[in-house]
Structure 1
Amino acid sequence: MMEYKVKIDSFEGPLDLLLHLIQQLEIDIYDIPAAEITNQYLMYVNTMQQLELDVASEYLVMAATLIAMKSRSLLPDHESDEEDFMDEEDPREELARRLLEYKRYKEAAEKLHELEEERAKVHSRPPADKLFESNAEGPLHVSIFDMLGAFQKMTRRKKLAVPPKATVRREELSVEKRMHALKEKLRSAQSPILFDDLFDSHERDELVISFLAVLELMKQNEIVVSQNGNFADLYVTAGGNDDEK
């Protein structure tokens, strides 16, 4: 059994994932639907675990918090005689405060990063080594959460159109071999390739290997992933470093 563990340093924590979900679902940060946000969050965490990504414990702590919040939201309304219950603060309010504080911090950090980039244009220096940051200009920045979301949708579509099982066992792939095959496919392409078209198998292990290969190529700045708008499809092109002569 092939094992391949990856630690994704660009995960900024569970609050970053929650903000991503709030944006995707167009949710009011002051009125978070506990059931929906919990289900979506758990789907992402489950996908990370299936891919054997190194999920930090803080993601699991937040998952437990959201599950408790969801359970509370599903309970019937209590009468005023249960004062202790009614006096408890709605956990969604505390979560909203944390999200707003994190959002302000993140926006400030992004502003400082923009100022740093402007200053870098004056004094030449080598580019910063940043995971998953494309060196090509595009309409939207594609985050690791966008990639996980695309992988979720792709695997669901695969399950809806599963072909008959082949009787011949296919050769087991490695991440390194898949990376090489993907680079060759992208370099020979005349135009950007749809993310889903990089996955020509219906076998779970091969889908996982291909996805890990895509992540590793992004980490090495060998490919560029672009998106033209929220909820739009992802497209992949060869780009960045070219170590092969």
Structure 2
Amino acid sequence: MHYNVKVDAFEGPLDLLLHLINKYEVDIYDIPVSQITDQYLTYIHTMQELELDIASEYLVMAATLLAIKSKMLLPQREEELFEEEHDLEDDPREELVQRLVEYRKYKEAADELKKKESSRSLLYTRPPADVTEYSREDSNTSIGDVTLYDMLAAFQKMSRRVKEKKPKRTTIKTEEIPIEGRMNEIKQQLRGGGRKRFTDLFTDHEKGSMIVTFLAILELMKTSELSCEQEGNFGEIMIFESERKAME
């Protein structure tokens, strides 16, 4: 079965590149193109495996990175090396770096405006009202710094371990797995305040079943029926029923 799911959490290829640069703590003005390109393509490949709807701009950026990587690997003649000593504007990364710097500037400005909006929203001109009912909602549903990138990385890591454990020869079984049914199974497992590790929800290690489980988790988080949290970078992601859902 094929499920086409459009994920709105991605803000574009430049956002993914910034995420990789921050994750691997590299200098934005001296990007190790080979390393970043490999990691970028890994994310794209994972999204394709999950049959997520990938915008064409992601593929265009992948082609751009490969072109830059190829150009930097080409051998240079002596006269070209001599010219580079006097003119450094031929760095094939220059245009991409400028785009990233500009994007980061506007992203930081947007974050600052969002903080100001949040601060301004705390000011009221109406008389005091009873907001006890609302203050209880979502009090324990913060997902901290968990992003879709972290979820994809966790899925990559788990898939790699499953592939390494599988025998070289195996029988492929075709089985239709309704995503709605898997969503109900996950909700049942977490009902009543239960908490499970992200990896423990993947009880069936067949590729089709793993993909359906991953998409079911994303859909439940999108509808605020599930929440997650992660203790520190690369830590285990915990999945649990949102408080709002538990109160229903």
Question: Which band: TM-score by shorter chain?
Answer: 0.7 to 0.9
* 1:79-121 CA distance string (max 9 Å, x none): 2258899876212122121111111111111121122222333
For residues 47 and 158 of structure 2, the distance between their equivalents in structure 1, rounded to whole angstroms, comes to 15
Q: TM-score, normalised by structure 1?
A: 0.84
1:48 and 2:47 equivalent? yes
For residues 157 and 134 of structure 1, the distance between their equivalents in structure 2, rounded to whole angstroms, comes to 35
1:231 and 2:230 equivalent? no
For residues 229 and 103 of structure 2, the distance between their equivalents in structure 1, rounded to whole angstroms, comes to 26
Q: 1:1-245 counterparts in 2 under 5 A?
A: 2-80=1-79, 89-123=90-124, 136-138=141-143, 140-162=144-166, 172-188=176-192, 190=194, 192-239=195-242, 241-242=244-245
- Cα deviation for residue 141 of structure 1 reads 2.1
- Cα deviation for residue 231 of structure 1 reads 2.0
Answer whether contact 2:186 2:201 (CA < 8 A) is retained.
yes
Partner amino acid, structure 2, of 1:217: L
**Cα gap change, 1:30/1:134 in structure 2, threshold over 3 Å: closer, same or farther?**
farther
- SS across alignment from 2:48: helix
Structure 1 gap segments, 5+ residues each? 128-132
**Cα gap change, 1:193/1:61 in structure 2, threshold over 3 Å: closer, same or farther?**
same
Answer whether contact 1:221 1:240 (CA < 8 A) is retained.
no
> Over aligned residue pairs, what C-alpha RMSD do you find?
3.1
For residues 238 and 172 of structure 1, the distance between their equivalents in structure 2, rounded to whole angstroms, comes to 26
- Cα deviation for residue 202 of structure 1 reads 1.5
Answer whether contact 2:197 2:238 (CA < 8 A) is retained.
yes
Percent same amino acid among aligned pairs? 50
- Cα deviation for residue 224 of structure 1 reads 1.0
For residues 158 and 212 of structure 1, the distance between their equivalents in structure 2, rounded to whole angstroms, comes to 18
Answer whether contact 1:48 1:55 (CA < 8 A) is retained.
yes
For residues 82 and 98 of structure 1, the distance between their equivalents in structure 2, rounded to whole angstroms, comes to 26
For residues 150 and 236 of structure 2, the distance between their equivalents in structure 1, rounded to whole angstroms, comes to 10
Q: TM-score, normalised by structure 2?
A: 0.83
